[in-house]
Structure 1
Amino acid sequence: MVKSYTRFVKPVYLVVLINLMGFLLLYMYSKPYDNITIFAGFSVIALICLTYALILKLEMGDEYLFLIVSMLMSIGIIMLYRLGRDLALKQIIWLAVGITMFFACYFAYLKLNIWDKVIYIYPIVSYILFIITIVFGGGKRGATNWIAIGGISVQSSEIIKVLYVFFLASYYTDPDKLNNITIAFKRPNIKINISRQWIFIALNYIFIGFLFLQRELGTAFLFFGVFIFFLFIFGSKLTTLVFNAVVACAGLVFSYFYFYHIRVRFDTWINPWSDISNKGYQITQSLFAIGSGGFFGTGLGLGRPDFVPEVHTDFIFSAICEEMGIFGGIAVIFLFFIFAYRGFKISLMVNETFDRIVALGITLMFALQTFIILGGVIKLIPLTGITLPFISYGGSSLVSGFISLGILQAISRKA
């Protein structure tokens, strides 16, 4: 027991050290000195240490999951504090809420045994949330994806991510849960039999279609990517994969011509330098920020990440690379790789099929989301406008991430 405790307690010291160094630099950078910086730093450290101690005490499974996320959160909050104190303080509050949801979802997933038995509930609840958002929600940056609840804006798609993974897991655990449908016509006397596989595909496209209606095309691409990975992993026929590939190409062409902001993103991805002061300003400033940081960065508080629009959400990776250097950016990517490795390992080790698929889906969702946003920031792919998990500013994204983490933690307890 002593050896196990010693082995797992050491990495948390590194997380504490990063927070101490980061917030100390922020305190020294602020003129006049701001004592709230010290309070914020110790609040983050206290939340991390208390949560980690409970994970060890209750033997909640893979301790490394929370350690990796703690390091990502610490980097994100330190950078947010550098960009704006109010942003970081709000994020710390959301961190406390997220950790609460982490424990709630951990125990709920372990105690309740209904998750694989309610396959129709997941799409129904998701579609209702979509409709409420479209009818009553507000818009930001061209997308109608926010619901105001008691003065707090909630991004419904972040909740639906978890429901979507559960829907996929329920189907692939037992496809017979979806019934075949027969449509009969009296005149002429024709019967059309629709197999459960095509019903499943149709339900997936309804998810993606609602995201299109919300103009939240980055999340639509994320859902579609996870869907295609599942089709491939679970051995769908080549014709099914080709059909979905054709639909994806048709959707991209339609989006390019129908949605102006999508056309702008594609055009600026191909050649941002042609309109560097207008449409290409955001991505070019991101590239300048990454390049100006060099290998070791300008130093915390010594760069100009404020030149990049939406730097606290979509482009926080640019700010990290500018002030912490390319090596800092590589460290962030490496942390996401380790998280994905732990998630896939949990998926392989657990015995129950449903648990295995949920772990796979959650890990794929995090991994693909990370690739999409980092690829957009460095101009590898068109920018989509989704957040970098656990690092970007955003309460809905952070709480949703901790809900998924709590579920993955519960599955690791069973492994």
Structure 2
Amino acid sequence: MKSSVKYEKRLLKLIYLLCLLLFTNLALLPKEFDYKAMGIGVLLCGIIAYSHYVIRKFYPDGDKFLFVFASILAVVGVAVIYRLKPVDAMKQLVWVILGIIAYILIVVIMPDLKSFAKYKKIYLIGTLVLMPMGFVYGKLFHVETWGATNWVYIGPFSFQPSEFGKIALVLYLSSALMSYENKGRFKGDFKQLIQPALVAMYSMACMVLQTDLGSVLIFFGISVTMLYITTSKKKYVFACLGLSSVGAIAAYKMFRHVKERVAIWQDPWGYDVGGQIVQGLYAISSGGLFGSGLGRGLPEYIPVATSDFIFAAICEELGMIFAVGIMIIYFLMFYRGIRAAFVTNEKFSQIVAVGFSTMIACQTLVIIGGVFKVIPLTGITLPLISYGGSSMLTIFFALGILQKISEEA
């Protein structure tokens, strides 16, 4: 216990040092000292310090590192976005603050998580409504964002319903699968799994219609992982992989945008719209191991650098070693989330912890894989780093739930 607290305090000091170094660098970039950049750095340090104090003072039994890892990623995100587009960084700072507030409120106010297991119908309705919302809105008002219909605009505000739909889907699957019993017969098992399977397929179909292929991969990863953790049967995993292969081939044949994404992935140099992948690869290669230095690269040539391709901008200016460090932080965050599932005896809480941990891991792997051209590029955000309010709030909500689970255990 004392050892973990010691390491936690060391990490916090390193976060403050990293934050101040990044924003001091940003403040020194212009000819005149940028006091706004320095102010953001100091403000972030203060917010992280106070939030950590509240959590540790009044709720000392929970996970010691989830919030620390989230803070590192949020600091890097705000700093890199400020380097690219200061106006967006100010908005991102607001979303980080709101996310941290949500995180703390979940830990402080929310009652035992097991009491939420009975609201399966509410989670189901939320999933059924949120998943097609972007598609319906886009078709009604003829609105597309980067070729996808996954955004809803209300006056000056906009949000992605599928981001909140992920939360509803994880909670629904958790409440539906917690009552699963291994009856030893295929027919008996299949009856228990048919409704969750249909809801998961419905969610993925909605994302295909919205041309949000990244969310399809995330939802598939979440559903298969939660299914395997609940049933411990590999045959269901292989069945899902087989069905997904058939579905992927059918989508490739039926939808033009799927063919385009695959063609651009295979040969990004042969298509004008493949320029973002090409520029991202150039940026990564030019950065090398140690990067060109914050403010000394050319990330402005990378399209959508503050959201989809922010990892390429990080590689260019901060280097591949720094980027690998970020990936390690994501892995450790996933590990701490899965650890929360092992330390609790509540079935609902266990499945929720696995679902949210997998959600964060899949989202990270899908976007980094797309940036490095390992898989076809999909327009999703890098958790806690990319610019975007919907993603920031949902990730902090998921982390708050994981913190609550560890606290209860």
- The answer to whether the superposition gives a TM-score over 0.5 is yes
Supply the distance in 2 between the matched residues of 1:349 and 1:5 (Cα, whole angstroms).
18
Supply the distance in 2 between the matched residues of 1:272 and 1:166 (Cα, whole angstroms).
38
- Secondary structure at the counterpart of residue 144 of structure 2: strand
Supply the distance in 2 between the matched residues of 1:288 and 1:89 (Cα, whole angstroms).
28
Aligned-pair distance for 1:254? 2.9
**Alignment map for 1:177-196 (pairs within 5 Å):** 195-196=191-192
Structure 2 unpaired stretches of 5+: 182-189
Aligned-pair distance for 1:395? 0.5
Supply the distance in 1 between the matched residues of 2:371 and 2:46 (Cα, whole angstroms).
32
Structure with higher Rg: it is 1
- Secondary structure at the counterpart of residue 158 of structure 2: strand
Asked if the contact 1:282/1:309 (under 8 Å) is kept, the reply is: yes
Asked if the contact 2:77/2:384 (under 8 Å) is kept, the reply is: yes
Supply the distance in 2 between the matched residues of 1:3 and 1:369 (Cα, whole angstroms).
32
Residue in structure 1 matched with residue 119 of structure 2 by the alignment = 118
**Alignment map for 1:6-155 (pairs within 5 Å):** 6-60=6-60, 61-111=62-112, 113-137=114-138, 138-149=143-154, 151-155=156-160
Supply the distance in 1 between the matched residues of 2:391 and 2:68 (Cα, whole angstroms).
19
Q: Which one is further off, 297-306 or 225-234?
A: 225-234
Residue in structure 2 matched with residue 406 of structure 1 by the alignment = 400
Residue in structure 2 matched with residue 231 of structure 1 by the alignment = 227
1:209 maps to amino acid: A
Supply the distance in 2 between the matched residues of 1:384 and 1:136 (Cα, whole angstroms).
21
Residue in structure 2 matched with residue 390 of structure 1 by the alignment = 384
Aligned-pair distance for 1:112? 6.1
Structure 1 unpaired stretches of 5+: 177-193
1:234 maps to amino acid: T
Supply the distance in 1 between the matched residues of 2:251 and 2:273 (Cα, whole angstroms).
18
Show CA shifts across 1:264-305 (max 9, x none): 221122122334xx1321111111111100111000000001
2:299 paired with 1:305: yes
Aligned-pair distance for 1:106? 2.4
Show CA shifts across 1:43-93 (max 9, x none): 211111111111111125112101011111111111101001011111001
- Secondary structure at the counterpart of residue 144 of structure 1: coil
Q: Which one is further off, 128-137 or 402-411?
A: 128-137
Supply the distance in 1 between the matched residues of 2:133 and 2:259 (Cα, whole angstroms).
27
Supply the distance in 2 between the matched residues of 1:25 and 1:361 (Cα, whole angstroms).
38
Supply the distance in 1 between the matched residues of 2:300 and 2:267 (Cα, whole angstroms).
23
Supply the distance in 2 between the matched residues of 1:222 and 1:108 (Cα, whole angstroms).
29
- Give 4+ residue runs of structure 1 displaced > 6 Å after superposition: 1-4
Supply the distance in 2 between the matched residues of 1:376 and 1:2 (Cα, whole angstroms).
41
Show CA shifts across 1:154-183 (max 9, x none): 11111111111111211221138xxxxxxx
Residue among 184, 204, 209 paired with 1:208:
204
Aligned-pair distance for 1:131? 4.3
Distance verdict in 2 for CA 1:279–1:349, change over 3 Å: same
2:331 maps to amino acid: F
Asked if the contact 1:110/1:410 (under 8 Å) is kept, the reply is: no
Supply the distance in 1 between the matched residues of 2:46 and 2:144 (Cα, whole angstroms).
36
Distance verdict in 2 for CA 1:148–1:80, change over 3 Å: same
More strand by share: 1
Identity, % of aligned pairs?
36
- Secondary structure at the counterpart of residue 153 of structure 1: strand
Q: Which one is further off, 74-83 or 238-247?
A: 238-247
1:175 maps to amino acid: Y
2:196 maps to amino acid: F
Residue among 238, 242, 261 paired with 1:265:
261
TM-score between both structures, scaled by the size of structure 2 = 0.91
Q: Which one is further off, 139-148 or 13-22?
A: 139-148
Asked if the contact 1:148/1:154 (under 8 Å) is kept, the reply is: yes
Aligned residues: 397
Q: Which one is further off, 127-136 or 65-74?
A: 127-136
When the two chains are superposed, the root-mean-square deviation of aligned CA atoms in Å is: 2.2
Distance verdict in 2 for CA 1:409–1:237, change over 3 Å: closer
Show CA shifts across 1:6-56 (max 9, x none): 453221110010010000000111233322111211121111111111111
Aligned-pair distance for 1:327? 0.4
Supply the distance in 2 between the matched residues of 1:19 and 1:250 (Cα, whole angstroms).
47
Residue in structure 2 matched with residue 157 of structure 1 by the alignment = 162
Residue in structure 2 matched with residue 290 of structure 1 by the alignment = 284
Distance verdict in 2 for CA 1:368–1:260, change over 3 Å: same
Supply the distance in 2 between the matched residues of 1:109 and 1:209 (Cα, whole angstroms).
33
Asked if the contact 1:55/1:63 (under 8 Å) is kept, the reply is: no
Supply the distance in 1 between the matched residues of 2:87 and 2:349 (Cα, whole angstroms).
39
Asked if the contact 2:27/2:34 (under 8 Å) is kept, the reply is: yes
- Secondary structure at the counterpart of residue 291 of structure 2: coil
- Secondary structure at the counterpart of residue 373 of structure 2: coil
1:269 maps to amino acid: W
Supply the distance in 2 between the matched residues of 1:212 and 1:269 (Cα, whole angstroms).
18
Supply the distance in 1 between the matched residues of 2:238 and 2:362 (Cα, whole angstroms).
21
Supply the distance in 2 between the matched residues of 1:132 and 1:265 (Cα, whole angstroms).
23
Supply the distance in 2 between the matched residues of 1:146 and 1:235 (Cα, whole angstroms).
35
Supply the distance in 2 between the matched residues of 1:412 and 1:50 (Cα, whole angstroms).
21
1:20 maps to amino acid: L
